[in-house]
């Protein structure tokens, strides 16, 4: 079974509208996960990032955010935290500490990070893969 670290830019697309760039690839990835063909690992901060975007950018109200929380819980992702020294190393290379957590976790796990964040792709080409190439 393939294992990937997913960042918020990918998981958000699981709940976004079809007009969102990368929506078909994200939904296909979700289908693989739901069929048990993919192991998804995330740092706990992913949940906060998804809630932040839904609440602030998409202006979801409290009931919608509660539904989102329930949906995220039901996904049952494996949650793991990266080594803080690895996060610091990536932060020193120019990523935010938040983005660094995903890259560091992928490195720690010996897997790839799937992302739709171009800066992450540019700064961590050995660890990150673009969502549009996900199979």
Structural domain tally of the chain?
Answer: 1
Task: Confirm whether 69 is domain-assigned.
Answer: no
Task: Confirm whether 70 is domain-assigned.
Answer: no
Does the reported pTM lie above 0.75? yes
Tokens for 101, please give them: 């957590």
Q: In which domain, by residue range, is 17 found?
A: 2-49+76-133
- Which CATH number do you get for residue 11? 3.40.50.1010
Task: Confirm whether 125 is domain-assigned.
Answer: yes
DSSP calls for 59-97 = ---HHHHHHHHHHHHHH--EE----HHHHHHHHHTT--H
Report pLDDT digits (tens) over 107-133.
999 999 999 999 999 999 999 999 987
Task: Confirm whether 54 is domain-assigned.
Answer: no
């Amino acid at each position: 079974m393939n294992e990937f670290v997913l960042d918020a830019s990918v998981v958000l697309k699981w709940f976004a509208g079809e007009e969102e760039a990368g929506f078909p690839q994200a939904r296909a990835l979700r289908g693989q996960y739901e069929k048990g063909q993919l192991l998804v690992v995330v740092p706990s901060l992913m949940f906060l990032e998804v809630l932040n975007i839904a609440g602030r950018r998409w202006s979801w109200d409290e009931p919608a955010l509660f539904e989102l929380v329930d949906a995220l819980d039901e996904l049952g992702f494996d949650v793991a935290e990266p080594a803080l020294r690895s996060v610091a190393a990536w932060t020193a290379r120019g990523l935010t500490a938040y983005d660094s957590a995903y890259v560091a976790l992928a490195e720690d796990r010996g897997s790839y990070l799937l992302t739709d964040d171009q800066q992450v792709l540019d700064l961590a080409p050995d660890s990150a893969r673009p969502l549009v190439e996900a199979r």
